[in-house]
Amino acid sequence: MVRLAHDVLDSQLVDRKGRPCGKADGIVLLVGEHGAPRVVALEVGALTLARRLHPRLSRWLARWGRRLGAAAPHAYRIPWSQVRRIDEKEITVDIDAAATPLWSLERWLAERVIDRLPGGA
Amino acid sequence: MTKVFEVALGIVTSIGGFLEAGSLATSAQAGAEFGFQLLWVIALGTLCLIFLVEMSGRLAAVSHHTIASAMRERFGFNFFVVPLLTVALVSLLTLGAELGGVCMALQLATGVALQWWALPVMVLVWVLLWRGSFGLIEKGVSLLGLVTVAFLVAMFRLHAPLGEVAAGLVPRLPDHDSGRYWFLAVSILGASLTPYLFYFYSSGAIEDHWDKKDLGTNRMVATLGMSFGGILAAAVLVVAAMVFLPRGVRIESYEQVALMLIDAFGHWGFWLFVAAFGIACLGAVLEITLAVAYLVAQGFGWNWGENVKPRDAARFAATYTLALVVAMLPVVAGVDPLRLTNVSMVLSAASLPVATLPFLVLMNDPTYVKGHANGRFGNAVVLVVIVLACVLAVVSLPLELVGG
C-alpha cells in the first residue's frame, strides 16, 4: 500500500543512476467516468509548486517564463509506470535525469558558467 | 582508537567553530555593561544548543534525511516555504554580519577601511568553497579557530574572581537598565542558537555518511564540543567585564572590542584579538554560506554536496555564490558591522519558533527517528528556551531600534 500524500508527495526523487532529480512536487490523478481515480504521473517543477501556494502565482510565473523564453511553460511529468521503488528515504524513478528538462538549469549552469571558470570541473 | 580520534576531532571542530562575530560581540557587550550578570544566559543558550545539535545529528544518522528535506517531506511544500524563507533570510543577514567581521579584522590589522576588503574577502571565501572539500573546510578552519582559546587564557591571566563568575550563572533580574539587559540577553540567545548551526550540522552528518553507529559519537561531540564553545563565549564575557566595566566603557564599535585582550597580553593582545576575530568570522562565513546553499538545494531536491565538484552540483554551487554576493551588499553599503550583528542576532532569536518547532515535531515522529525519539527533558528544554527567546526578541527589538 502506498499513501500518496504521506509517502510520495514532497519526497526526494532519484534517477536510475542515483542522482537527485527534484521532489515529487505534484501527483497527477486521472479521474475517468468509470472506475476509481488512477495515479498516472508525478509532476516536478516550479509551476506545480507555485500552483500549490496560489493559482495566481503559478499563472504569473508561467507568463514571466514565456517572456524570458523558457522552453515549456509547464511542469515535467514522470509517468507512474517509471516509478521503481518507494522507500523512507527516497523514490527511485527509471529515467536518466540528465537527458530530461529536469536538468536544463543544471546543464546550462555547468556548460555556460562553470566550465568557463577555473577549477569547477 | 580511530573512534577516540574522531570524537576528539569533532570536539575540536565544534570549539573552533563556536565563537563568531555574534557570540563574541554580544558577550563583550554584556560583560562591559552588566559584569557577570548575564552569564546564565550563555549557559542556558549553550544547554539548548547541545540538545538541538544532538537532535540534528540523530535525525541525519537515523533517517538519512537532513532537517530541510525531512521538514518538506513531513509538512509539505506550503508549510516548508515559511521556515525555508525565514531561515534563509536570517542566515543571509548573519552571513553579512560575519563577512563584516572578517573585513573589520582586516581593517583593524591594516587601517584600510573595511568596505575595501569586501570584494577580496568574498573572492577568498568563494575560492575556498569552489576548490575545497567539506573536510578541509570543517577541520582546517576549525583548527585555526582554536586561537579563540586565547580568551580563556586571558580570563586566567587576569585572575578572574571565580566565585563571582559562578554567581553569574544564577538567573537574576537586572539592577539597572532592564530594557538593555533583556535586549542583550536575547542577543546572546540568538547568537548561541542561530538556526544555520543545527541545519548545517545535519547536512554535515549526511556529507560524512553517518548512520546509527555514530549516535554515541554524535552525543559526545554535541555535548562536549558545544560546552567548550559555550565556555569560550563565557570567557569573552568575563574578560570584557574585567576590562571594560571598571573603566565605564560601553561597547559601541568593534574598535573598542579589539582592545579587550591588551590587559592580559599587552601589545600582543591586540594582534591576538584581530587573528582570533578574523579567523572565527571566516569560519562562520564558510559554514553559513554552505548552510544557505544546503537549505535551498535540499528544499528543492537538487544534487548537492561540498565534496563534489561544482560542475556536478551546478545549482548548489550557483546558490552559494549568489548567497555570498547578496550577503556582502550591506557591508559594501557601509552598514556598521556591530549594528548588523546585533540586529541579526535578535532576528535569529525571533525566528527560532519557526525554525525549531517543526524540527521538534520531526524528532518525536517515529517515521523519521524510529526508536530514537526525543526524551521529555530535551523537548522541554528546547521548547522553553525558544519560546523565551522569541518573546524577548519580539518585545525588545522595537525598543532597541527606537531607543537606539
Rounded-to-integer distance, Cα B185 and Cα B382, Å = 17
pLDDT tens for B229-245 read 999 999 999 999 999 99
Instruction: Say what the pLDDT of residue B101 is.
Output: 97
Which of B111-115, B164-168, B224-228 is predicted least confidently? Answer: B224-228
- Alpha-carbon gap: B10 to the closest alpha carbon of chain A (Å): 26
The answer to whether residue B72 neighbours chain A at the CB level (below 8 Å) is yes
Say yes or no to pLDDT of A10 above 90: yes
Q: What is the mean pLDDT of residues B158-175?
A: 94
Dihedral of the CA atoms B195, B60, B44, B269 (nearest 10)? -70
| Best mutation target, B303, B367, B372, to test chain A (most A CBs within 10 A) | B303
Q: CB B303 to CB A11 under 8 A?
A: no
- Which residue is listed with cell 574598535? B255
User: Which is it for strands A76-79 and A12-14: parallel, antiparallel or unpaired?
Assistant: unpaired
pLDDT tens for B286-334 read 999 999 999 999 999 999 988 888 999 999 999 999 999 999 999 999 9
Q: Where are the domains of chain A?
A: 4-94
**Do B153 and B161 meet the contact criterion of CB atoms below 8 Å apart?**
no
H or E element that contains A39: strand A38-44
Rounded-to-integer distance, Cα B310 and Cα B213, Å = 30
- Alpha-carbon gap: B60 to the closest alpha carbon of chain A (Å): 11
Instruction: Say what the pLDDT of residue B140 is.
Output: 82
Least Cα distance to B259 among B153, B108, B112 occurs for B108
Q: What is the mean pLDDT of residues A98-107?
A: 89
pLDDT tens for B323-356 read 999 999 999 999 999 999 999 999 999 999 999 9
Say yes or no to pLDDT of B201 above 80: yes
C-alpha R_g of chain A: 16
Say yes or no to pLDDT of A80 above 90: yes
Q: CB B315 to CB A88 under 8 A?
A: no
The answer to whether residue B64 neighbours chain A at the CB level (below 8 Å) is yes
- A27: helix, strand or coil: strand
Nearest-by-Cβ selection for B302 from A5, A20, A117: A20
Residues from chain A contacting residue B303 (CB–CB below 8 Å):
19-21, 106
> Predicted ipTM?
0.93
Say yes or no to pLDDT of B117 above 90: yes
- Which residue is listed with cell 552569564? B39
Q: CB A120 to CB B130 under 8 A?
A: yes
Q: What is the mean pLDDT of residues B1-30?
A: 80
User: Which is it for strands A91-93 and A12-14: parallel, antiparallel or unpaired?
Assistant: parallel
Q: What is the mean pLDDT of residues B71-78?
A: 96
Rounded to 5 degrees, φ, ψ at A26 are -150, 160
Window 150-209 of B: residues touching A by CB (8 A cutoff) are none
Q: Where are the domains of chain B?
A: 2-403
pLDDT tens for A11-39 read 999 999 999 999 999 999 999 888 889 99
Q: What is the mean pLDDT of residues B90-114?
A: 97
Domain B2-403 grouped into CATH 1.10.4160.10:
yes
Instruction: Say what the pLDDT of residue A70 is.
Output: 63
Number of Cβ within a 10 Å radius of residue B379: 16
Q: Which residues 6+ apart lie within 8 Å of B266 measured at CB? A: none
Say yes or no to pLDDT of B64 above 60: yes
H or E element that contains A106: helix A104-108
Q: CB A23 to CB B300 under 8 A?
A: yes
Q: Can you name the CATH fold of A4-94?
A: SH3 type barrels. (2.30.30)
| Best mutation target, B59, B73, B129, to test chain A (most A CBs within 10 A) | B73
H or E element that contains A38: strand A38-44
| Best mutation target, A7, A13, A17, A23, to test chain B (most B CBs within 10 A) | A23
Q: CB B314 to CB A109 under 8 A?
A: yes
